[in-house]
Amino acid sequence: MAGQFGGTPVLILKEGSQRTAGREAQRSNIMAAKAVAGAVRTTLGPKGMDKMLVDTMGDVVITNDGVTILKEMDIEHPAAKMMVEIAKTQDSEVGDGTTTAVVLAGELLKQAEGLLEQEIHPTVIAAGYRAAADKSMDILKVIGVKVAPKDEELLKKVAITAMTGKGSGTAREELANLAVQAVQSVVDEDGSVDIDNITVEKKVGGGITDSQIVRGVVIDKDRLHPNMPKKVSGAKIALLNAAIEIEKTEVDAKIEITSPDQLQAFLDQEETMLKDMVDRIVKTGANVVFCQKGIDDLAQHFLAKAGIYTVRRVKKSDMEKLGRATGGRVVTSIHDLTKNDLGKSQIVEERKIGDEKMTFVEGCENPKSVSIILRGGTEHVVDELNRAMEDALRVVGVVIEDKMLVPGGGAPEVELALRLREYAATVGGREQLAIEAFADSMEIIPKTLAENAGLDQIDSLVALRSGHEKGVKTSGLDMDTGEPVDMLKLGVVEPLRVKTQAINSAAEAAVMILRIDDVIASKSGGPAGGMPGGMGGMPGGMGGEDFD
């Protein structure tokens, strides 16, 4: 990049930097974004395929979870990275619909490409897309169905829809039941749900149906001393964020001992101090101690002698969950511990799950923190089950918070396409073309669902359109028969927020990519040279993959 000044070239960019401008820059960015969408498109829906991802260390991940695939892929192109951000945002906000968001963004850019070729300015397309996205929010609220937070049957259907096709197989019913029970247990008084209060422990061994919910907390640690009781009934639990050991001085100190008697007195004093600490715990009536810090060997002996079940070096997050589950308070000084700070549970027990010993805190009264133990035949199965369970927990939590859901199976997208075309006719001008392109993009979801189920895209879409034109707003695609079916009756439902977030994220990302007309790449950063249309780290076949 250089300019002329009095016949002398003036260099503005470093030597080796490359600049791609105008249509070439837009084409490169759109191609990269479409390649990302193409990479995850085959995983969409209950009949979607899985991807096997092998990293540089040889570790294998087998999944059809959109955000997991994109996180594991080694993507270089800046526009492609923006598509990964869509999936991450969708995952953090809702927990499901990551593939939908990315596929929608890819299709919006593909439709925009056609408009750019008709010499329609990117700003006009961006304005049309924003208007269409806003209108979509209004339409979705009309399609949405209210749900009561205590309607367990409907919540289970939401969880089953989220888990379908994610390795849960025939155990979906049982796992959905666990998810609904867990989320309902941790709902706060204001109706909000923090999924972090649900601990999910993965253990290889047994079958999927051996998975269970624990109305309390499972800590991945065993008791501290073999002489401590293995099981405590009627547990009174002390939660300590203080070490049960002699504190070291913060400044350098020296103690001079000149005789054996003084040494013995020093050791006796240490022992007395430790015994005093344990006695203070015993006086409160505690028979279980969870300590966030270290415990001296001698203190372990005194605790075992007193018959107190003790676990040390418990994570801070686990301590908070124990507090929520048992009603106990985390105390930072043993001197301040009173019986009013103790938590309660029916049982605290050490059990062996697979090869590992774990501590179960069960039978808590109205626990605000619970645990789920997932079992499966292999590590890959358990990992995929964990991803499915996380999605299920998040969507159930979102439905309880928003109290709104929409039918699945492509029903909302077909209804949106129909209503947006009607809306486009009222807008007029060039923006009308952008809104119509947005409407066409919506139909990529039912088309992809049909394709991944081995059905004919065109026949399925025509049948769905016909149903919606007759006023059946909940008509979606039955993946087994290929016929349009009322999704609410079939029990295929999703949180409203999954759709609103996916459409907003996809529209914003598409608009941002469209508005880029100049890419300036320095020599050291980014893909070598002028940022190719494909992506580093992806198989050649995906570089320019397009949609049908």
Long-range contacts for 249-255 (Cβ within 8 Å, ≥24 apart)?
none
Catalytic residue among 63, 89, 99, 161: 99
439, HSE (Cβ side, Cα atoms, 13 Å): 20
Verify whether residue 65 is a known catalytic residue: yes
Catalytic residue among 43, 391, 478, 500: 391
Catalytic residue among 98, 164, 326, 474: 98
Beta-carbon count within 10 A of 520 CB? 16
How far is the C-alpha of 397 from the C-alpha of 163, rounded, in Å?
14
CB 414 within 8 A of CB 446: yes
Residues present in the chain in total: 548
Burial class (CB in 10 A: 0-12, 13-18, 19+), 184: middle
Verify whether residue 43 is a known catalytic residue: no
The torsion angle over the Cα atoms of residues 85, 87, 88 and 94, rounded to 10 degrees, is: 140
CB 119 within 8 A of CB 105: no
Kindly report the backbone phi and psi dihedral angles of residue 198, in degrees, each rounded to the nearest multiple of 5, phi listed first.
Answer: -110, 120
How far is the C-alpha of 521 from the C-alpha of 529, rounded, in Å?
7
How far is the C-alpha of 369 from the C-alpha of 352, rounded, in Å?
22
> Which residue from 101, 57, 107 is spatially nearest to 83, judged by alpha carbons?
101
Task: Give CA separation, 104 vs 25, 256, 501, in Å.
Answer: 21, 75, 12
Verify whether residue 98 is a known catalytic residue: yes
Strand partners, 407: 493
- Say if strands 370-376 and 198-204 run parallel, antiparallel, or are unpaired: parallel
What tokens were used for 100?
């939908």
Catalytic residue among 65, 96, 341, 383: 65
Q: DSSP per residue over 402-439, as a string?
A: H-EEEE-TTHHHHHHHHHHHHHHHHH-HHHHHHHHHHH
Verify whether residue 100 is a known catalytic residue: no
What tokens were used for 232?
């405590």
Integer-rounded Cα Rg, in Å, for the chain is 30
Kindly report the backbone phi and psi dihedral angles of residue 149, in degrees, each rounded to the nearest multiple of 5, phi listed first.
Answer: -60, -20
- Say if strands 60-63 and 51-54 run parallel, antiparallel, or are unpaired: antiparallel
Task: Give CA separation, 74 vs 38, 51, 67, 81, 133, in Å.
Answer: 15, 14, 13, 10, 31
Burial class (CB in 10 A: 0-12, 13-18, 19+), 189: exposed
What tokens were used for 272?
């007395």
How far is the C-alpha of 478 from the C-alpha of 75, rounded, in Å?
35
Burial class (CB in 10 A: 0-12, 13-18, 19+), 481: exposed
CB 328 within 8 A of CB 342: yes
Supply the residues annotated as catalytic: 65, 98-99, 391
